[in-house]
Structure 1
Amino acid sequence: MASPSPFWEELVPALQTLSKTLKSNAKVGLFVCLAAYVPVHFELAFPFQLWLHGLFLIVVVIIGYFAPSVKFSGPIRFAYLEYSEYFIKISKLLQDWWVYAAVFLFLYPGTFYPALLPVLSLSFIAIAVVTWVYVYHEYHKQLLIITGQVAADVSRATLASSTARDFAGAASRYEKELFDAATVARRDSLLASAVRITDFFDCATRAWAALGEITVAVQKVTSKVEAIVDAAENVEDIDKPDEKPDAGDDEEGGGEGDGDEDEEEEESRTQMLARALREEAEKTLSKVGEVVGQVEAAQASVRLSKAAKDQDAKARQAADANAIAAASAVEEVKGKAAESDNASCKAAAAAEHIKGLAEQAVIVATNGEMAVARTLAGSVKSGAEEAWLESGKARQVTDEAHALLIKWLQTKVA
C-alpha cells in the first residue's frame, strides 16, 4: 500500500490548527454580536446597554495609553506578564461556556433575562475593578521592592568605591613617605661614601706600629741612660786608696811624691768627668722621659683615631644597608599601591556599571516587566558584591603596604 504524500501529512495538522483558531474566534465574535444585539432587541435601559459598558472600557484603555506608565500601562503589562496564565485559563473556560449560555438566553429569554444580562455586565465590571486594584497593589509593592533593593545595592557599591579610593590614597601616601625616606637614606649613603677627614685616620692607623716601635726604642734608651747615670754615680763615689811608704825608701821619696800628685790630678779629673757625665745623663733621662710621654700621648691619639675610623666605617655600612633596605621596601610598597589603585578602579567601574543597571531595572519595573527587572536587580546585587570584594582587596593590600612601612622603620639599621 502506497504511503500518503507529504502534502496530506502537512495539510491535516494545518487544518486542525486553523479549526481551533476559527472555533475560538467564532465564539468570541458570536458573543460580541449577541452582547451588542440583545440589549437593543430587548430595549433595555441605557445604563444597562452592553455596548455602553464596552465603550467605557475602550475609553479607559485609550486614556490609560496616554497616562504615565506607572499609573496604567505598567500595571496592565505587569498583569499580562505575571497573570497571563490565569487569564488564559479563565478565557478558555469562558469561551467554552459563555457562548452556549448566551445562545440559550437568546433563544429562551424568559421573564428574568432583562435583569440577568445587566447583572452579568455589571458583575464583569466589578470583577474588572477589583482585579485592577489587586494588580495595581501587587505592581506597586514589587516596584517598591525592586527600587529599594537596587537603591541599597547602588549605595553599597558607591560606599565600596569611596572606601577603596580612600585605601588607594592611603597606599599612595605610604609609598610617598617611604620614597622620601628612601631618598634620605640614599643621600646619607652617598654622603657616607664621600671623602671625610676620617679617611685620613688610616694613615694614623698605619703609624700606630711605628709609634709602638719608637716607644720601645725610647724605653730602651731610657734604660741605657739610667744605667749610665748609675755607673757615673758609682765612679764618683769611688774613694782614693791610702798608701804608706817604707822607711828604706827615703831616697826615692821625692820622685814618688811627684807621681802621687799626678795620680790625684788624674783622679780629680775622672771624678769631674763622671760628675759631668752623670749630670748630662740625668738631663738626657729627663728629655727621654718627656719624649716617652709625648709618644704615649701620640699613641693615645692614634688609638682614638682608629676607634673613630672604625665607628665611621660602621656608620657607612649602616647607611648603605639602610639605603638598600629602603629601596627594596619602596619596590614592594609600590607594587602594593598599584594593586590597591587597581582594586579601587575596579570598584569604581563596578559602581558606575551597576548604576546604569539600576536605572534600567527601575525603568523596566515601572513598565511592568518584573521578571526582567528582577534579573537586572540580581546583576546589580552581584556588581555591589564585586565592588565590596574589590574594596576589601584594596584594604588588605593597603594594610600590607602599611605593614611593610612599619617593618622597615622597626628594622632600620642604626
Structure 2
Amino acid sequence: MEAADQKVKRLRTELLNGLSSGVIADLVDEMQGAGVINTSECEEILQANATTKNKARGLIDTVSRKGAAASEKFIESLNGADKELCRKLDLSLVKTDASANVPKQTSMTSADDGSVPTTCTPPAPGIPMPDEWLTLCTQQDYDAISQKTGEVYKTMPKQSRIRLALLINNIEFEKPEMKRKGAEVDEEQMQKLLNGLGYQVEKHNNLTAEGMKQAMVAFSNRKEHMESDSTFVVLMSHGLRDKICGKLHAESKEDTFHIDNVFDTLNNKNCKGLRGKPKVVIIQACRGTNLGHVYVSDSGAPEPFADYEEEGPFYPVHKESDFICFCSSTPENVSLRHIQNGSIFIQKLVEVMRQNACKYDIEELFFKVQQSFLSFTKQLPVKERGTLMKKFYLFPGM
C-alpha cells in the first residue's frame, strides 16, 4: 500500500493546480489545530507566499516532509474541504497505524438550535420549471467559459454539490398598516429563480430583528456550504439608513437588524464553508424618502394608499472578499413596489437573470438590470463595493 506521504508527493503537481485559496486556508487551520504544523510554519505558508500556488506549494511540502501520519491528516482534511478534487485525484483516505500519532481535531461548527422556524425548498430534479422560462447554458458555452480557471470561479459538478440560498421576506408587521402588499409576488419569483439555478432556498417570513440575526448565524453554520460553490442571500423588508426592519418595528420602538451583520456573519473568519466562494447579497428596500405624495413610505410612517409603495433605506458595508451586493436603489432614494405585481427591482432582476444567466457573469447581469431602468427615472439599482476576485457564472442547467 502506498504511504500517505508518498501519495501526496506523487500528486504534488495536481494538488498545486487544484487547491483554491479558501481550501488552503482551511487546511492550514486544521493542520495547525491538529498539531501537524506550528504557528511559525502557518504564518510562513500564508504570509510569505504571495500567490495561491505558492501557498499550496508551501503547505504540501511542509506536510509531506513530516511523514505518513502528517500526510494522512492532510488527506483526511482535504477530503472534508474539497471532496470533488479528492475524487478527481482518487485521493481517498485509508487509515493506518500512523494515524494514531495525530490528535483528533474537535469540530467548531455550531448547529442550528431550531429557535427560528425554517422552510427549505430544494430544487426539484432537473429544472423545476419549463425550460423556456429559464434559458439553460449550453455545454459549448460552459466548456469555453469554465476552462478560464484564473478568471472564473470554480463551479462544482451538479451531482456532487449542495447549493444553499437564504431568503428573508418580512411582509406582515405588528402595525397592520405597514404590511408590504405585493411582497409575496417577489418571494415567489425569487424562490423560483433560485431553485432553477440549483439552490435549495431556506426561507423565513416575518422575523424580528433578533430572528433575522439567528437565521443568519444558523445559515452560516450549515455544513452543506462545504459542498457548495456559492450562495445567495436575499433580504426584503422595510428599512432604515443602515438597517432592515423586523416585524415589531414602529416609530415608537425600533426593531432593526444592522446590514453589517450579513457581511460579518458570512465573512472568511466566521463562515468557513464559504471561504473563497462568491456570496451574492440582494436587498429590496428603500434608501431614502425622496419621492412624491402618491407613494407610501415603508420607512416607518404610513402614508395614503397608492398603487406603488416605497421600501425603507439601508447602507451595507463590505468587510471581506468574494462579496457582491445589489441594492434596489441609490442612496437617499426610494425603491418602488407595486401592491399587486411586486417590486420593480425584483421583477426586472428575475427577468434579466432567467434569460441571460446562461452566458453572462453576475456583474454583467446586474449591469443589464441597471440598463433596464434607463427610462424609469424614479429609481436606479446600484452595485455596492463588490469584492469578487473572479467572474461568477451561474451556468443554469450545468
Which has the larger Rg? 1
Instruction: Confirm or deny a common fold (TM above 0.5).
Output: no
TM-score (norm 2): 0.18
Structure richer in helix, relative to its length:
1
Specify which structure has the higher proportion of strand: 2
TM-score by length of 1: 0.17
